[in-house]
Every structure is written in structure tokens, then in C-alpha cells.
Structure 1
């Protein structure tokens, strides 16, 4: 969801950014004299926030422009009016009625709740994500063709600009996921472009990768000093470029999901750290004492807690002790910052499992680098554990499929198709990781089904079909003791549920079924329809897609089915090759 803010008071930007980042909402700021740019935004705005008054223009004129943009787009554009916190509900309502009945009054306490409602409505309108957009900046055409060839095949859309000025104009109108720019550009250099993007970007974190023919260490250092996220020589291969772009998008996605809780009774320290972390793409929460921090931690489960020691109500040491007593928070990374620099204080922190100890005053940039290092180490540990679980379970799946020649390769095909669909629907990194594990283990419960039923060459009797249905519950029970697989269990248990509530084992329906389970259901059914079984031949691809189209809203989630059909539109040949490549 994208909310555009027509703001001319600088102070509003700070607290609005904080609310949007916490709510996971994309946002953009426009000055009142740039309101015409609202019509050219891509993606388009889902809502607009205006002030109750402006220094140089009439708020009603702005609202007229906003209504005109919505009319041309064929929909009503929700408009929020930021009101003073001290106003009562009656005053807010009366003031906004003057501007128009569709204007929604909000203040700094009510805005988050209104955003949650608008976000849900926006997600319902746009269930399928489009290709991710990359901005490429270079004066030549040859390198553009190379970059497009490398990235388009990986699902990216490359938009080009020939100079820094055009690139900045494009960034004001479009939401890009990453910028690739040459160092040498006509006019403003790529280095200056990078600096301006980093300084002026009011939206989500935007990675910038510099491209250069120079491998001089001084040139590389200069690029990083200007704010570049990476430096790539122009002798890159297509695979190298695609991998590098995917790597930075994964990092940006992780940053958007990582939550950092900053705890200090000094508002100046809290805001200084919050600003630094937000600038670098993280979601930041703040608390003024340990008691409030514990309350927030229990609700939000942050990845890192950066806390002072000496605070009212509950100090930093007690906060650490309380965090370690809660099972869901005991592995939370903790960084302490304090004016107390005695060895005994540092040792006490170590006994409480504190990862780093900073003595005030400290370098804020160094704090940011240490926190990112801790998050990176935690991610690599989780990823390694994830790979270990997958390899262990793959051995079990291989043993299971060896019992039945006709289902050999089924799990790999379902996993591959589920991951393609998950990416097409814009799932985040954590959801994709859970989907990969869930789709690989969706049939593990069949280990508990006797061969006489599982390998029967003909159709199953009602009693035998009931036995087969137990595999979803058996699979979840097998994996339940593995704590790290807790988020995956619902996908394994519920991947045979139907949208209309006629599935098994719980007969739940609609959005009560987890999204991952709905995705696996389509991938599983598609593979079952298109592969041979002892009692029938596999369906032609077009026939199978027709079944999914007909069953959307009955057996299958309509949003997942729409995304699946859109994903395979024009790819029939590629899917046929995938099926043909599998071992017989």
C-alpha cells in the first residue's frame, strides 16, 4: 500500500515516517505545489494524507486535484486529514465535514488504526504483485541491452535513464526496488546521484549499486563514502548481475521485516538512533523505560533490543533478565548502551547474554554497523539451520517416494511450482522460506499410511480414502517436536483444505486457511492432474489449467488461482519442458 502525503511542515515528516514504518506501509511526501505529480505516480497512490491547512494554498483546492486524480483512475481515492491531537472527535468531524464528507480525520494516535483498514482494502484490490522495477542509469545503449537481458529473464523490469537528472525525476514518480548507476554520467556524476538518492529518499530503503570500469581500491572507497551499497565492475556476467541484484533485494526485504527496539529514557538518544536505523531501511520501535519496552517486545517480538541501563520503572539489566524468561523472546539479540563503562558492568551484561556493550558517548554509525552485523549473523544461522532441516527431510521424502514409482519426483515438482507462485504473489522472504519447507514436507505423513492403501493401483474405497486423508495430521504430528518448524506445521496440516470449506482435515474455509497452504494446494493439484497414475494418464496442460480456472472460488483460493493462471500465461511450453525433464 502506498500513501502520499501532501506536507509543507517538516516536523510532520518525522513522526509520520515513524508511524508508516511501524505499520509496514510504503509512503511518499509531496509539497503542495507538486500535487500534480500525484497523477503520474507508479504504482498509483492508495490513499492521500493532507494537512488541515497550508501556508501558501487552500486545502480545498488540493482536495479538488486529488478528487480529479481519483476520478480519472476510475476509483475514489481515500483522503485523510491530519488534525491536532488535542481536538475532540466532534471537532475533528465538524472540521473535516467542511472539506468534504469523504475526508477522514486522523491524528497521531488514530492514524495507525485507519492505515490498517486501508491496507487491508488495498491488498484486496491488488492481490497479485507485478514485476519488480530496477532503475538503470547510463548514457550508452549497449550496456542497457546487457542489463535488460540479464535481469528481465529473472523477473525484473528495467527502466532506464541516460543521466542523473532524469533518474531523480523518475524516482519521484515511480517506486523502484534498486538503482544501478554508472559512476561516469553526463552532467551530475553517478556518485552525486547516489548521495542525493540517499539524502532525499523519503520512501522505503533504496539500495544503490555503482557500476564502473575501475577496480582501483580508492575509487571503491569513494563510492561507499557517497552511500553506495555495492560496487560492481562492468565486466560482470549476466549471472553475476542477477545474483547481485537478488542479493540486495533480499537484504532490503530482510531490513523491512527486521524490528529494532530502542530503549532509553533520553528522547534525544532514542530519536538519534531511530533516525539512523530508519534511514538504513529498518523498522524501528521505541520505548522510554524497561517496563514499556517489555510490553512492546511481547507484542512485537523484535529481532534486536538496543537498551540503556539506568532508566525509571525497570532498568536495562532487569529488562534483559525478563526477556530471557519468555520462551518467544529468549533468543532476542540485546545491545547495551550506557555511561557505565566499568568491567563489572560489562561482565554482568555478558552473563545476561548481551551481544555488544557500548559506552556512551558512542559513534551512532558504528552502532548501526554492529546491529546490522548481528542481524546478518543471525540470518546466516537461521539459513544454515533451514538448509539442514531441508536436507534431512529430503532424505525422508526420497525414501517415501521410492515406495511408489508413480509419485517419484512429485515433491520436487510441487515445491518448485509453489515457490514460483509464491514469488509471483510477492511473498516476503520469511513466507517463502516457510513455503519451501512446507511444500517439500507436505506429504511426509504418508510414511504412516500402509502400503496396501498408498500403493493401490485402482481407485480407493471411501474407507481407504479416509485413511489417506489422515496423512496431513500424521505429517504435522511427526514434525511437531521440531520447534523451528512451528510456522510450517499449519501448511502441512491444512494443504488439503478447500476454499468452500469441504476439504480436510478441519473443513475450514476461505482466508482461515493459511496462504501458504492455499498455494501448496494448487501446486499439488496441478501436479496430480498433469502426471500419470496407474489408473489414468495425466491431463493435457490446457485441460489442467481449465480445471483450476473452473474451481477458483470453490476448491481453490480465487486470488492464488488468478496468480497461478497469470503466471503460466504464455508459459505452457516451459511448463511442459519442466514436466518432461523429471525422471520417469
Structure 2
């Protein structure tokens, strides 16, 4: 399958030169003559690489690059910026906008050829990694499927954790990490005996020990993912308690990553407000009472107060209004 390259330039002569060169090199070429058209074309054709002119009317290349890099759906498309000025200011602005590479006009064919191959090779590796990540998310769903009583648990935790993170004022990157942590927090249970997971009664000390390994197993499973640095601490710490009595490391207070503290709260709430093998749902009133009882011991008091406000105000929603698909699997 031919690699697809989007060429964006307001000079017809440059588009013509690049189109002829890229076609000879065996690439499929798509073109746009300005920044706004480029943004439309990206979502129409999903290119493997974008050659983006810096100076264009209305919406310049820096603005286009920044918009694409800030959007999760397009952030991983390599962007090579084209400039007629080989100066530090343009490169600095391009780096700040998220550009992956730079080329100076007029183009030297050998350099252009080498840069294209390098960027497309990186894109193929990224695509392979995305496929691996898709498998990881599917594994998380498979773990959930082991227990009929936790149906929808991952979807609710993703939604609850994202709402709490946003209400607490976390930035977009932190919110995304928390959302992924909500989906993947229990993936380590794939390393736990299924009989233990399904057991309706109390666990033996040996079974408890095995079950308590799942946060660290989960962190290891996702260790090679692009977002592992942000998400792995959430997974490994989601059973740590504010007073230091949790596991696996006995972390205390703000030593526990904030994403893990969020998951601890929403996981407990979801467990109390859904039917389990050993009891029916406790309902919101009792769940709220028990959350308050754990304030400052099990739960971060500041985060808990924000979460309780969401519940009391009716703003906490178990499902997002919009449907969302994560890495090829709807969760």
C-alpha cells in the first residue's frame, strides 16, 4: 500500500514540483493550497505524512501544525515544515508548534528523499505501537468480562475519573492519563487466577496476596506504551490509601500520584453503587456516607469533596453523552 503524503502550499509551482517528485518516488500525493483546506483534507484522507508550508494567508503553517498536534486523532501524523527562510525564529516557532522536521526551499532531492523515508519509517513504528496498545485495551476489556458483576465498570470508571479530573482543574494531558488509568487500572488481574476473581465469598490470606499483585502486574503490562510514564503510576497506585495503609507500597498523602487518588475514589464509588455477588447495590446515599467516613484515611479529602459535590449536584454522569472509541475497541 502506497504511503499517502499531504502537500500544503499556497504556491502552485511548489505543489507541482513536489507532486511530480513524490509521484516518481512511488507515493500517493494529496494537495491543499491553504491552511484551512489542509485541516479539512487531513480528516478526509488521513495522510501518513504532511509537508506543510510555513507562510500562508489566513491560517499559517504554525497554526495548522499546532491544531493537528493538539488533537489526539491527528497528533501522531509526522509534519515536516517547509520554509524559504533558514532562520532560527522559524525553527523555534515550528518546534513550539510540534513540527517533526524542517525542509528549506529550494529542495535538494537527495535530502528530501532521505527525510521522507526517515519520517515514514517512524510513522510505521508508531502505527505498530498503536496496534500493540489496541491489544492492551482489548485485554483490559477481557479482564472485565471475567466477572459478570463488573459489566460496564471500565466505561463508568473512565467517565467518572475524567469528570473528577476536569472538575479538580487538571490539564488536558493529566485528564487523558487519568482516563486511560480508569480503563486500564485492573488490567493486572489478567495475571490473577480467574477462580479468585470470581470467588463470591471472602478470600484466604494467600488469595489476598495474589490479588494484591495486580497493580504492579498492570504497570508492567503497559510499560512499553507511549503513555506508560503518566499512566503506569496511576495503575500501580490505585489501591494506595491517603493514610498510608494501602498497597502495594504503602504510599501516603501527596506521595500517591493524583491520578491514582482519583481512581481510588471513583473505583470505590462504583463498587458500592453496583450489584456484586455478595450484595446488592448500596445506593448513592449509603455510598456517599461511606465515602465521607473514609475522608482523610482512605481518600484524598480535597479530591473527595469535589467528587461529592459532583454527586450532590447531579453532575456526575455514568456515561458520556458522546460515544467514544479507544484504540479500536469501544469501552
- Give TM-score scaled by structure 1 length: 0.36
Larger radius of gyration between Structure 1 and Structure 2 = 1
Task: Check the 8 A contact 1:390/1:437 in 2, yes or no.
Answer: no
Match of 2:275 in 1: 532
Match of 1:176 in 2: none
Structure 1 spans left out of the alignment, 5+ residues: 1-223, 229-247, 259-265, 285-301, 305-332, 357-377, 579-584
Match of 1:428 in 2: 171
Match of 1:351 in 2: 114
Quick one: distance in 1 between partners of 2:257 and 2:95? 25
Q: CA deviation at 1:488?
A: 1.9
Match of 1:455 in 2: 198
Task: Check the 8 A contact 2:288/2:308 in 1, yes or no.
Answer: yes
Aligned: 1:523 with 2:286 = no
Relative to structure 2, which stretch is displaced further, 395-404 or 417-426?
395-404
Structure 2 spans left out of the alignment, 5+ residues: 1-55, 76-84, 321-331
Equivalent positions of 1:355-434 (< 5 A) are 391-434=134-177
Task: Check the 8 A contact 1:501/1:509 in 2, yes or no.
Answer: yes
Q: CA deviation at 1:477?
A: 2.1
Task: Check the 8 A contact 2:160/2:317 in 1, yes or no.
Answer: no
- Describe the shift of the 1:253–1:303 C-alpha distance in structure 2 as closer, same or farther (beyond 3 A): closer
SS, match of residue 476 in structure 1:
helix
Give deviations 1:313-352, integer Å, cap 9, x for gaps: xxxxxxxxxxxxxxxxxxxx121448xx573xx6346536
Task: Check the 8 A contact 1:253/1:429 in 2, yes or no.
Answer: no
The structure where strand makes up a greater share of residues is 1
SS, match of residue 262 in structure 2:
helix
Give deviations 1:240-288, integer Å, cap 9, x for gaps: xxxxxxxx9x949939xx9xxxxxxx9x9545776xx4xxxx984xxxx
Task: Check the 8 A contact 1:334/1:355 in 2, yes or no.
Answer: no
- Describe the shift of the 1:355–1:463 C-alpha distance in structure 2 as closer, same or farther (beyond 3 A): closer
Match of 1:555 in 2: 298
Q: CA deviation at 1:385?
A: 7.8
Give deviations 1:141-164, integer Å, cap 9, x for gaps: xxxxxxxxxxxxxxxxxxxxxxxx
- Describe the shift of the 1:386–1:523 C-alpha distance in structure 2 as closer, same or farther (beyond 3 A): farther
SS, match of residue 220 in structure 2:
helix
Match of 1:473 in 2: 216
Equivalent positions of 1:157-168 (< 5 A) are none
**Larger relative contact order (C-alpha < 8 A, sep ≥ 6)?**
2
- Describe the shift of the 1:417–1:478 C-alpha distance in structure 2 as closer, same or farther (beyond 3 A): same
Aligned: 1:544 with 2:307 = no
- Give TM-score scaled by structure 2 length: 0.61
- Describe the shift of the 1:411–1:351 C-alpha distance in structure 2 as closer, same or farther (beyond 3 A): same
Match of 1:208 in 2: none
Task: Check the 8 A contact 2:160/2:318 in 1, yes or no.
Answer: no
Equivalent positions of 1:185-334 (< 5 A) are 251=67, 254=70, 269-270=87-88, 277=93, 284=96, 303-304=98-99, 333-334=100-101
Give deviations 1:427-455, integer Å, cap 9, x for gaps: 33322332222211111111111133222
Quick one: distance in 2 between partners of 1:388 and 1:443? 20
Quick one: distance in 1 between partners of 2:69 and 2:291? 31
Give RMSD over aligned pairs: 4.2
1:438 to 174, 178, 181: 181
Give deviations 1:108-159, integer Å, cap 9, x for gaps: xxxxxxxxxxxxxxxxxxxxxxxxxxxxxxxxxxxxxxxxxxxxxxxxxxxx
Match of 2:234 in 1: 491
Match of 2:311 in 1: 568
- Describe the shift of the 1:449–1:226 C-alpha distance in structure 2 as closer, same or farther (beyond 3 A): closer
Q: CA deviation at 1:355?
A: 8.4
SS, match of residue 335 in structure 1:
strand
Q: How many residues align?
A: 249
Q: CA deviation at 1:547?
A: 2.5
